[in-house]
Copies of this chain bind each other. A is one copy, B any other.
Amino acid sequence: MRAIPLGGLGEFGMNMMAFEYGDHLVVVDCGVMFADAELPGVDIVIPDITYLRENKHRLRAILLTHGHEDHIGALPYVLEELDTPVYGTAFTLALARAKLDDSGVSEGVELRKMEPGVPFDLGPFHVEFIHLTHSIIQAGALALTTPVGTVIHTGDFKLDPTPTDQHVSDLHTLADYGRKGVLALFSDSTNVERPGMTPSERAVRERFEEIISGAKGRVFISCFATSMHRMQIVTDLAREYGRRLCFVGRSMFQNSEIAQEMGVLRIPPGLLIPPQDLRSLPRNKALIVLTGSQGEPMAALSRVAVDSHRWVSVEPGDDVVVSARIIPGNEKSIFRMIDHLCRRNARVHYHDGGQPPVHVSGHGSVEELKLMLNLVRPKYFIPIHGEYRQLYRHVEMAKELAAVSGKTFLLESGDVLEFDGQGARKNGRVPVGRVCIDVGTLDEVGDVILKERRHISEDGIVIPILAINERTGELEAPPEIVSRGFVPLDQAQDLVESARQVILKTIEKSNVEEVGDWGVIKEKIRTALRRHFDQETGKRPMILPVILEV
């Protein structure tokens, strides 16, 4: 058996791991990573699936541990190319289906339901889904049993002793596997830097109740649209405190519909109202759950903050809860949004360390990770889902315990880990990497294009243009120079003039063969101008000479 992480090990997000035995290959999760300012014009990043493409005849299934974007977000791109059934719990599949529908690639895709306590076979793999608590419902681990032994992949988890739906993690099944003997444990490393236990989702209820019970105006609560736990908490509190409930924002509305249909979000009749009806509702009777907890400029809360939402507005004294962690890279937009809400004299509650918390993590902290290791007590241990320092720390932590009877392996995406009767060992690498996607177009954004964008965004671009007579090889007009993002050339006539002289001198000094070879002459002009601009302005714009045959 071989385990091959294709994403998510040594990087944050785009989780994907292949397990193969003989002629059979199954993939666990298929996620995206969100892009940031380091990747201009890129919206999401998906794993390079060259390896799966080359082995598609062996691909038996994609198994989903839960429905978060970093676990299912790449499905539309992968299923466009690869034809394989997708397994997941009912809620995970509902989210996956909505995503595939949106991308127009759902046709012909086979979605198969997976349930705790109902194991099934995929060729040599005996697959069991084991429920674990997480910030999304119906999440869990996968136990894959092959002739060489059982591996357990935890997905993302915490061990919440008091989940809002009372559906605690299935510790018994983990213990059973542990007693029978587990070959390898692949375990979530996201919160390995946090000591102790992650607080229960119940802590958020306490804070919400405190805020709602004391609220005199509207209460706005923004959270991830996949957080059924919080949507249920808010629903229950709306009923208890005599407020009407309103979902605002496309994904919030869509997911609440899906969840209600499936019976995983229970809303008493008459509680829910559409956003249009908010205006006629007294302000102290409204409880609004909305998208935009990351300050996304087009999402509901950001619009409300600048008073540009069609149906909803905030007024002095309203309470606004941003119930999410601040994803690194989003600080500026989130705090800008909070500043706007403060300007409107709203009381803003955000994740600032205040207790009880407005947000708790969905990932287990150190003590939960230790408990997982002690329950499963595998022969081999491999930390997953984390940047290098987190994987490193998880390995260090595991070494302190007596849980691992064999070895721990620190794998990064692309490393191949091989298991057989003799043991386990790293054995080679497969191609992996990041594919940048422009969501607007579903196009891949290549490395060269990104490099060009980054270069231009640093110091701008200068385009010197030469019209050369194709018969005589003579310049037909003085060189033209245009630029963008560089210095304002209309205020720098001296610089333009001196650059023209540099170009003319470069051409003069070149011999006939060189002038005839426009590749050479362009390169010489580029070099000369680069030096010239560096001297004159200290800047290094991209220089793109163009020669026009006339």
Contact = CB atoms under 8 A, between A and B. Distances in A.
Interface of A: 10, 36-38, 40-41, 193-195, 328-329, 331-332, 335, 338-339, 342-343, 348, 352-354, 387-389, 392-393, 438, 440-441, 443, 446, 448-450, 452-454, 456-461, 463, 465, 467, 476-477, 480, 482, 484-488, 537-539, 542, 544, 546, 548-550
Contact of A480 (B328, B454, B548): B548
B449 A487 contact: yes
A195 B40 contact: no
A450 B353 CA distance: 36
B353 A546 contact: no
A477 B549 contact: yes
A431 to B, nearest CB: 21
A194 B476 CA distance: 69
- Tell me the dominant secondary structure on chain A's binding face: mixed
Given A453-B457, A453-B485, A467-B550, 13 more contacts: A36-B37, A40-B458, A195-B353, A335-B389, A339-B387, A342-B388, A342-B392, A343-B388, A453-B484, A456-B461, A456-B485, A476-B476, A480-B546
A460 B313 CA distance: 37
Contacts of A10: 339
B443 A538 contact: yes
A216 to B, nearest CB: 15
Contacts of A465: 465, 546, 548
Contact of A463 (B338, B353, B546): B546
A487 B544 CA distance: 16
Contacts of A38: 37, 332
Contacts of A392: 342
A427 B384 CA distance: 59
B484 A456 contact: yes
Contacts of A335: 387, 389
A443 B388 CA distance: 39
A55 to B, nearest CB: 27
Contacts of A388: 339, 342-343
Contacts of A460: 41, 449, 452-453, 456
A353 B487 contact: no
11 contacts: A41-B485, A335-B389, A453-B457, A456-B461, A457-B457, A463-B544, A467-B467, A476-B476, A480-B546, A482-B546, A548-B548
Given A353-B195, A461-B456, A440 B546 contact: no
